[in-house]
Amino acid sequence: MPPLDYAPINHFPRGTGAQTVQVTSVLEQTLWSKSARHRLQELSALPQNWNGYGSPVVNKDAIEHSFTLLSELGKLGMPEPNIVPVSGGGLQLEWRRSGAEIEIEIFPDRSIHFLVVDAAGEMFEGRVSNNGNVAAFTSITCWFLSENKSISDLSIYDGTY
């Protein structure tokens, strides 16, 4: 289990000459941070073969990367996701709102795939490499939080970052 009490250092604002860093998770600043952290801890405790189909435990890197991603998405104003284990060691974050859906799957190798669905059922799928920039989700987040969501309003180049 990663040290969920602490966010990566680059999440903290740089002070002006301060000698100390306030070790406060950005994720904790969101209303849903505690329950999300608790949920990640629960999932990290799932045993080998948790699904009866031989799945390995949820991968620690996937949990750590999910935590980082949730910190970023929380700052962008996203509501609390449904956090789901995926057979094979990954995790999935899910949001549903006004008929629109976002699914973000975090793989054990830290790569990220996402699926966006609008109220009409139109879908858009893409991926972020394991070295990818989670800022790629800015446009998806803005789209999700807006009214009158349609896939055609989503300004993503080709779904690969």
Partner 1 sequence: MTVRTDDVSLSDDDVLLRRILDQPSLWFTHVEGNLVASSAAFKDSLNEVSVNVAFETSVETVMNGRTTDGLVSVTVGIPRSLDHIVAKTSDPGDPEDSSHRVICPPLGLPTKRRMAAARRMARASKWIIFPLSERT
- Tell me which residues touch partner 1 (CB under 8 A): 39, 50-55, 82-90, 92, 94, 96, 99, 103, 105, 107-108, 113-115, 117, 123, 125-127, 159-160
Long-range pairs for 7-14 at CB < 8 Å and ≥24 separation?
Answer: 7/67, 7/68, 7/71, 8/68, 11/68, 11/71
**What is the smallest separation between the CB atom of 130 and partner 1, expressed in angstroms?**
13
Return the closest-CA partner of residue 112 out of 50, 70, 53, 57.
70
**What is the smallest separation between the CB atom of 19 and partner 1, expressed in angstroms?**
42
Distance CA 160, CA 127 (A): 5
**What is the smallest separation between the CB atom of 150 and partner 1, expressed in angstroms?**
17
Report the residue number, 75 or 96, with the smaller CB distance to partner 1: 96
**What is the smallest separation between the CB atom of 40 and partner 1, expressed in angstroms?**
12
Report the residue number, 7 or 143, with the smaller CB distance to partner 1: 143
Please report the sign of the dihedral spanned by the C-alpha atoms of residue 30, residue 82, residue 143, residue 8: positive
